Amino acid sequence: MKPMDSEMLREQGHIMVDFIADYYKNLEDSPQDFPVLSQVQPGYLRDILPDSAPDHPEPLKELLHDVSKKIIPGLTHWQSPSYFAYYASSTSVAGFLGEMLNAGLSVVGFTWLASPAATELEVIVLDWLAKLLQLPDHFLSTGNGGGVIQGTGCEAVLVVVLAARDRIMKKVGKNSLSQLVVYASDQTHSSFRKACLIGGIHEENIRLLKTDSSTNYGMPPKSLEEAISSDLAKGFIPFFICATVGTTSSAAVDPLFPLGKIAESYGIWMHVDAAYAGNACICPEFREHIDGVENADSFNINAHKWLFANQTCSPLWVKDRYSLINALKTNPEYLEYKVSKREEVVNYKDWQISLSRRFRSLKLWMVLRLYGAENLRNFIRDHVNLAKHFEDCVAQDAHFEVVTTRYFSLVCFRLAPIDGDEDKCNDQNRELIATVNSTGKIFISHTALSGKFILRFAVGAPLTEEKHVTEAWQIIQKHATKFIHNKKN
């Protein structure tokens, strides 16, 4: 037995392709066999797997049998057409092929030399994507900026917090860490707070500005301005603003234009986290939501969320690549090579947390080429239209209410309160979602907005069609009758 044998790879690879193609076929044709939200109990797997690794090889057939019988029942099927939870993490045929080819070529791309194509394609493809998003020229590789694919949105925000931190520390001295202050809204993804804590920013210096329904949960520029003034007066050093386009709870949009003006006037780094909604901005009709990105220092989207790129793929663009490189570079002798210091040579190890990195741009390149920009726009439009369809259903049922203004493919809604009883309403919505998800027929998730328990219906899985949305609504309505009936009594 050898670890690599091209004919064995061929034979077993074909078996695996059929296994995966069958999975997608069955996911569509036999949904009853695939509860969208896994129905297993904690510890289920320990009971049915051995305690230790086998000494001797086991046949692929047996392994795939175990995948079907033991693993798949423990999966929550993110690619199911009836998956409407969190935000989707959408794959596609092209995204899948991209992962295959990446795993097949299996090169490492930490420096240019380690595989020049891995680096150069990333530079090029991120320029392509920047153009589709109509990002300002300073984010292109041709200026001082450039793009890099981070592993995740969390890594993206972490590296820019570090770049901004080290930039300001150079000015104010490294003993000023405890005075550094950052800003975001209370809707900002938890990864922002985590990134700041990782970077040593004091927890009490993380200002999460309050939002409410009056701005549809977008950050009020006035609050930012006031917070900065007040902090400056107290001797704090404001250095970072994280704005979000498409928050995780409700897809709220922070107003980039006024926020960017404030950031600029104080010399503060502004990052725009558009992990989910940024993908939609390749469509002209959604592009307005990132108007003002011209004033940002950095911007990221998660192409694994809604650009059909399969996990993981988080393009990040920065205005000034040197601030990133200054914060993250390493120079071990064993990675030096003749042209490593040349200005035009990119070494992505210096743009990220880790050294090792896969050929990250390959699948993004394949997604863009195998679909073309126009199809990708249409995939996104289809999802938005499906969300609109769901929103219409909700709006037409007096027992329910749509809770926030919908911009993209997420609908925030709930069973409406009866006689203004918010506590009871929260309980009923809690019960409703538990019941609905326990059917295994659909999976939706929840959030809290202004203390209210809210249901989230997010469209984004690659197999979802109108019939799945209609059916989801029928399931929700059906399980809601219990509460509606109670209402009438």
Write out the H or E segment, with its range, that includes residue 458: strand 452-458
Residue 273 contact, options ligand PLP, a copy of itself, none, Cβ 5-8 Å cut-off depending on partner type: ligand PLP
Contact string (CB under 8 A) for a copy of itself, positions 245-284, x = contact: ---xx-----------------------------------
Footprint on residues 35-94 left by a copy of itself (CB under 8 A): 37-38, 40, 42-46, 49, 51-58, 60, 63, 67, 70-79, 86, 89-94
395 contact choice in ligand PLP, a copy of itself, none (CB below 5 to 8 Å, kind-dependent): none
Q: Quote the least distance from Cβ 420 to ligand PLP, whole Å.
A: 32
How far is 356 from 110, CA to CA, in rounded Å? 5
> Of these, 32, 235, 284, 332, which contacts a copy of itself (CB under 8 A)?
332
| Whether 157 contacts 184, CB under 8 Å | no
User: Please, which of residues 372-401 interact with a copy of itself by CB under 8 A?
Assistant: 372-375, 378-379
Q: Does 360 bind ligand PLP (CB under 6 A)?
A: no
Task: Give the tokens for residue 81.
Answer: 């057409």
Q: Which stretch binds ligand PLP (CB under 6 A): 11-19, 148-156, 225-233, 464-472?
A: 148-156
Rg for the chain, CA atoms, rounded = 24
The site map against a copy of itself for 89-118 (x = CB under 8 A) is xxxxxxxxx-xxxxxxxxxx---xxxxxxx
Q: How far is CA 129 from the centre of its chain?
A: 16
Burial code (b: 16+ CB inside 10 Å, e: under 16) for 284-309 equals eebeebbebbbbbbbbbbbbbbbbbb
Q: Which residue in the block uniquely carries the two structure tokens 């904690």?
A: 42
Which of 265, 331, 356, 438 forms a contact with ligand PLP (CB under 6 A)?
A: 356
Helices (H), 234-285: 256-266
Q: What are the Cα distances from residue 412, in Å, to 29, 163, 249?
A: 29, 35, 9
153 binds ligand PLP (CB under 6 A): yes
Query: From the list ligand PLP, a copy of itself, none, which binds 266 (C-beta under 5 to 8 Å, kind-based)?
Result: none
* Count of Cβ atoms closer than 10 Å to residue 108 Cβ: 14
Number of residues that this document lists for the chain: 489
Nearest Cα to Cα of residue 450 among 474, 475, 417: 417
Q: Which of 99, 127, 273, 350 binds ligand PLP (CB under 6 A)?
A: 273
Q: For residues 189 and 289, which CB has a smaller minimum distance to ligand PLP in the complex?
A: 189
User: 184: burial class by Cβ within 10 Å (0-12, 13-18, 19+)?
Assistant: buried
- Provide the 3-class DSSP secondary structure of residue 185: strand
The encoded tokens of residue 303 equal 């192409």
Which one of the spans 207-215, 252-260, 337-345, 385-393 is the region binding a copy of itself (CB under 8 A)? 337-345
Q: Which of a copy of itself, ligand PLP, none does residue 448 bind to, with CB < 5 to 8 Å depending on kind?
A: a copy of itself
Report the site for a copy of itself in 439-468 (rule: CB under 8 A): 445-448, 456, 462-463
Does residue 115 interact with ligand PLP by CB under 6 A? no
90 binds, among a copy of itself, ligand PLP, none (CB under 5 to 8 A by kind): a copy of itself
Q: Which is nearer to a copy of itself, 118 or 270 (CB)?
A: 118
Collapse the DSSP code of 36 into the 3-class scheme (helix H, G, I; strand E, B; otherwise coil) and give the result.
coil
Angstrom distances, CA of residue 103 to CA of 69, 97, 362, 435: 26, 10, 10, 40
> Taking the mean position of all CA atoms in its chain, how far away is CA 11?
35
Residue 230 near which of a copy of itself, ligand PLP, none (CB within 5-8 Å, type-dependent): none
Compute the distance between CA of residue 131 and CA of residue 120 in angstroms, rounded to an integer.
17
Site for ligand PLP in 301-320 (CB under 6 A): 302, 314
- Among residues 300, 212, 224, 211, the alpha carbon closest in space to that of 259 is found at 224
Residue from 125, 154, 163, 263 in contact with ligand PLP (CB under 6 A) = 154
Least gap, CB of 47 to a copy of itself (angstroms) = 10
Round to whole Å and give the CA distance between 315 and 343.
Answer: 22
> Is the CB of 325 or the CB of 353 nearer to ligand PLP?
353
Peptide bond into 211 cis (omega under 30): no
What residues make contact with ligand PLP under the rule CB under 6 A? 87, 152-154, 189, 191, 244, 246-248, 273, 275-276, 302, 314, 354-356
